[in-house]
Amino acid sequence: HGECYVTDDGAETDLDLGHYERFLNIATTQANNITTGRIYNNVIQKERDGAYLGKTVQVIPHITDEIKRNFQLLATTGKYDIIITEIGGCVGDIESLPFIEAVRQIKWDLGENNAIVVHLTLVPFLKAAGELKTKPSQHSVKTLSEAGIQPDILVARCEHSLPDEIRRKLALFCNVDYESVIEAIDTDTIYDVPLLMQAERLDERVLTKLRLSSRRKPNIDKWKDFLYKIKNSKETVDIGLIGKYVELHDAYKSIAESFVHAGAINECKVNIKWIQSEELEKKGFNFDTLGELDAMLVAPGFGDRGIEGKIKAVKYARENKLPFFGICLGMQVAMVEFARNVLGIKKAISSEVKPDSKEAVIDLMEDQKNITAKGGTMRLGAYPCALREGSKAAEIYDAEEIKERHRHRYEFNNTYLERFEEAGMLAAGVNPQSELVEIMELKEHPWFIGTQFHPELKSTVNNPHPLFVSFVAAAIENAKRKKTESHNGAKESKNGKKKAVNSSEV
């Protein structure tokens, strides 16, 4: 249902985990993510190892015990006051049943004041009736109660504010304290949610239920400052995101959020213009429309669909000095375009598109050539990257070495590196162990950078990614330049008309 979020240790997870990193500014790991497949795989492996001594393996207790073990596994990795476990889906889903049962058991095992259940429900607004309806929440809690779980706190999603009588009705029919009915009203931005939850005193209710006390008041001044900048931007830029999955914006969720973070730092609102790369391949596409953009990002992806459209977009950005950012496949197509139109390698391509190509400037990594399994076998997780002294990348990062997250099989073919660098396309970042090229940048260009890694996966509210911050700044400068040129052009045109009038009068 969206992008695959990758952690530092190479775990391929649900995109929701990215929200936790972005909000908390804390790197997550494999221990922060549990899947049904992994639970069943662990149980099967334990049975093969003889851990169950020949007993019949059942959902209860074997699957639920493994789920409970994973719930508490994170607690062994550090010293924490609270472990938050989010269970996706809806109450009553077949897939969720073992997890719901595990929650029931763990609450019983740990005791009433050591585990609480926060239940998220929907309170829809019916336009025809002009009122909020509590029935979906009542039935959801009833279904949960049938599984042996009574929610301690009810968080009600709603379009309109909950009147007092609705809160009391929810408290009565759902068996929760009035103070534990929390309003979660729709907002303009997801970054409003922490402040709204604090206003509803959700944090206080959780501490009260767990019989914990806070040592100090939360300091959220930086968060408020971030929100203020989002809502009171001084500049606006249009950045084109060119990809093959643009119909589903969540496919590029981390990129979109990275633009929010970078926009706040630059006090700028970033309008993303979603462009389907296949549209650029159609005959008659007007590439002058790309000139309306202030910058261009060619997004990650897999396969050959839409590749030629991306290559054409890169060509436009390179030739017209439009700030360009290529990520993973975006970087790879930029190298293909440069090889074709600058180096004269007309049949340049990636071996992902043409496996038998003799001019594969992007090729399968050596350690991937004998791998046939697709799942979990890519180059995954964080790897070091040494930055080239004097490069734009080194200036942006203000560092000599960085660590960034990867998810790919194909890399720049170093056989062509010397020719690229002679023509001005520099390897600005290289893995110190494998010498794989991680960053390429065009020397004679205002801002043209391609990364093999995914910088969007490390951008957070407190630490916007430096590449995105610099890219948005370049977009602002380009927008100002275009505005100045347009103003000067209009001025010259006006003066020309005046001269024409004067000459005719004479």
For the chain, how far is it from start to end, CA to CA, in angstroms?
71
Residue 265 one-letter amino acid = I
Is 141:134 a contact under the CB 8 Å cutoff? no
Say which of 158, 174, 328, 385 is annotated catalytic. 328
Paired tokens of 332: 């790879």
Contact by Cβ (8 Å): 387, 429: yes
**What per-residue string of b and e applies to 59-84 under the rule 16 or more CB within 10 Å gives b?**
eeebbbebbbebbeebeeeeeeeeee
- Active site (annotated) includes residue 328: yes
What is the rounded distance in angstroms from the CA atom of residue 354 to the CA atom of residue 58?
A: 48
CA distance 71 to 91: 18
Give the dihedral sign, CA 151/155/156/161: positive
Q: Do 132 and 169 form a contact (C-beta atoms < 8 A)?
A: no
User: Cα separations (Å) of 331 from 220, 410, 438, 441?
Assistant: 37, 11, 9, 10
Rounded to whole angstroms, how far apart are CA atoms 348 and 335? Answer: 9
CA separation for the pair 244, 242 (Å, rounded): 7
* β-bridge partners, 242: 275, 298
Name 405's bridge partners: 382
CB atoms within 10 A of CB 105: 18
Enclosing H/E stretch for 495: helix 466-505
| Token pair 């500049």 in the structure block, residue | 235
3-state DSSP assignment of residue 391: coil
DSSP state at residue 161: P
Determine whether 385 is an active site residue: no
Helix and strand tally (H, E) in the chain? 15, 19
DSSP state of 62: I
Burial of 207 per CB tally in 10 Å (0-12, 13-18, 19+)? middle
- Asked about 352 being catalytic, the answer comes back as no
Mapped onto helix, strand or coil, the DSSP state of residue 458 is helix
Q: In sequence order, what are the residues at sequence separation of 6 or more whose Cβ sits closer than 8 angstroms to the Cβ of residue 296?
A: 239, 240, 242, 290, 313, 316, 317, 322, 323, 324, 325
- DSSP E strands in 244-329: the ranges are 268-276, 295-298, 324-327
Q: Which two tokens stand for residue 375?
A: 């799942």
Question: What residues are labeled active site?
Answer: 328, 454, 456
